Amino acid sequence: MTTPRLTDRRPDISADELVDAMTPPPRFDEVRFDTYIPNPEEPSQAAAVAACREFAERVTAAGGDERRSVLRSLFGGRKARRPDGGKQGVYLDGGFGVGKTHLLASTWHAVPGPKSYGTFVEVTNLVGVLGFTETVRRLSQHRLLAIDEFELDDPGDTMLVTRLLSKLTDAGVYVAATSNTLPEKLGEGRFAAVDFLREIHAMSERFDVVRIDGPDYRHRGLPEAPEPMDDEELAEAAAATEGATLDDFDDLCGHLAGLHASKYGRLVEGVSAVYLRGVHAAPDQDVALRLVALADRLYDRAVPVRVSGGALSSLFTEEMLSGGYRKKYLRAISRLTALSRDLAKS
């Protein structure tokens, strides 16, 4: 029997499904503040848990009467402000693997609805599907918007999300976000347009920054990723794994180019493991960034990965790893390495 391929899947997702799907991914269904184990050698981690707890309590305490007053101010033409005059955003900054997404999802779980959770890509795609005004209308009814992977790659997206956050916070919505870069440094090394930088600084003023330091927990004391398998061994392993897929790496890269990144999660939905044949370094930044998005969705869903050809650590060239998207690529390698160990243990 032929092993199924991801390239045979043509996922689609409607506007209503996009809104309903704005919840933490399956990997983070059960995380809570109490399940985050701070590294005792990194005091910023315990401090971050406390800061996120306090933020969640503040969001929860925002009562219905207060929100209705804020919304009346917004749609009545006056700029709304919190009664305490405080900032309505918390921004978790730190390297990959320090538990930022764990704390973001824990914050989301601790706050009563209505609320939304999505990656930066998912939020921008929601605006693309619904339109800006309708997105503001829907999300303005929520207490909290949580945005993971706040990494701005395009000046247009920066302007869009900055404007969206301005409208939502004026409407009384609280915002929690994660990234590997401080808000005022977003876009650094990529764009230097005056308008772009002005928008970045305006956005950063809406957040309290919580720094989280420490090594990547996914690799503390653990071995490196398994060596690539040979093609025959890979095919046999894929055929023996129920629910697995087997794809040629180049074919999959081409398939990803024809899908919006918001569909990558649906692409791997229900897949038990992903086997990739003939892995090599991404030929350009476009392919590399699509692989980052796929790696994130695989990690969210705890879908293990094994490969033949090159090692997962060689997906991105030295030039890529020294450029403006360096942190994205390192995060992807970190996550894929962890996923490859998961399959090697099974």
Domain residues of the chain, as ranges? 31-215, 218-345
Q: What is the mean pLDDT of residues 35-63?
A: 93
pLDDT at residue 199 in the model: 60
pLDDT at residue 76 in the model: 45
Which comes out higher in pLDDT, residue 193 or 8? 8
Comparing CA positions, the residue from 193, 182, 129 lying closest to residue 159 is 193
The strand pair at 89-94 and 174-179 is best described as parallel
pLDDT at residue 12 in the model: 85
Q: What is the mean pLDDT of residues 215-236?
A: 75
2-22 confidence digits (pLDDT tens): 899 999 999 988 778 888 889
Query: Picking from 51-55, 73-77, 210-214, which range would have the lowest pLDDT averaged per residue?
Result: 73-77
pLDDT band, residue 159 (cuts 50/70/90):
confident
Q: Is the pLDDT of residue 287 over 60?
A: yes
Q: What is the mean pLDDT of residues 180-194?
A: 49
107-130 confidence digits (pLDDT tens): 999 999 999 999 887 888 889 888
* Architecture per CATH, 31-215: 3-Layer(aba) Sandwich (3.40)
Q: Is the pLDDT of residue 329 over 90?
A: no
Which comes out higher in pLDDT, residue 282 or 338? 282
Write the DSSP string, 144-159.
EEEEE------HHHHH
pTM value is 0.74
pLDDT at residue 187 in the model: 46
Q: Is the pLDDT of residue 36 over 90?
A: yes
pLDDT band, residue 222 (cuts 50/70/90):
very low
Distance between CA atoms of 176 and 147, rounded to whole angstroms?
6
Q: Is the pLDDT of residue 189 over 60?
A: no
Do 17 and 126 form a contact (C-beta atoms < 8 A)? Answer: no
Q: Is the pLDDT of residue 165 over 80?
A: yes
* Percent with pLDDT over 90 in the chain: 47
pLDDT at residue 112 in the model: 95
Distance between CA atoms of 46 and 39, rounded to whole angstroms?
8
Distance between CA atoms of 29 and 227, rounded to whole angstroms?
31
